[in-house]
Amino acid sequence: MKIICISDTHNKHREMDIPKGDVIVHAGDFTEAGTKSETIDFLSWFSALPHSYKILVGGNHDFYMEKHSDNLDQIIPGNIIYLIDSGVEIENFSFWGSPYTPGNGAWAFNEKPGKDMLIHWDKIPENTDFLITHSPPYRILDELDDKRHIGCQKLAKRVQQLKLPHHIFGHNHNDYGIVRTRETIFVNAASLDNRYRLINAPLVIHTPPS
């Protein structure tokens, strides 16, 4: 199975060259101001992609998705799998998605660092093959230009505890790329750089036959 990973497109999705694949994953921040019109435009584009499975999580810019969580069925096309502390199984691989990032509550899907974030990470099942979060884990592809790390410590500990094989995320535009440890392949799929230029290509994961 070929999985295409993108994130942090911030309304520039129609400018992207998306490779073919079986699954496409967007790890959040598909809008900039989080308006309904931005949201619907992205969902229309995402729904029309040829990939058999389209998985989406929200990000801290995606205010409409947070504010209208009770009636999203009215705007999300049926062929998009929207994950919010929930999962889906595709060809015997389990995917789990969560949009939350640590913060002061000024952004969408923001929670206070620490125990408030852990509430979400504790929901991640042990048998997860692909974890998709908007937040990076602490000290893994989360470093800003000023050397600050913006990832979530509780998330990093949970991923390590579960020995998850894949973790896909975004949020930090400065640290795009792939890092492999003994247990986990970490993918920061941020499509825009820190100057909001669309220069990062979609990242690709190939899975062995299930």
pLDDT band, very low/low/confident/very high, at 208 (cuts 50, 70, 90) = confident
- State which residues form the domain around 150: 2-206
Query: Has residue 210 got a pLDDT over 70?
Result: no
d(CA 7, CA 11): 11
Bridge partners for 193 per DSSP: none
Kindly state the percentage of the chain with pLDDT values over 90. 92
d(CA 112, CA 198): 30
- Please answer whether residues 30 and 41 qualify as being in contact, where contact means their C-beta atoms are separated by less than 8 angstroms: no
d(CA 64, CA 66): 5
pLDDT for 145:
85
Q: pLDDT tens, 130-176? A: 999 999 999 999 998 888 899 999 999 999 999 999 999 999 999 99
pLDDT for 146:
85
The three-state secondary structure class of 47 is helix
The three-state secondary structure class of 157 is helix
Q: What is the pTM of this model?
A: 0.97
| Burial of residue 37 (number of CB atoms within 10 Å: 0-12, 13-18, 19+) | exposed
Phi-psi region of 92 (alpha: psi -120 to 50; beta: other; left: phi over 0): left
CATH code, 76: 3.60.21.10
Query: 15 is written with which tokens?
Result: 């400018």
Count of domains in the chain? 1
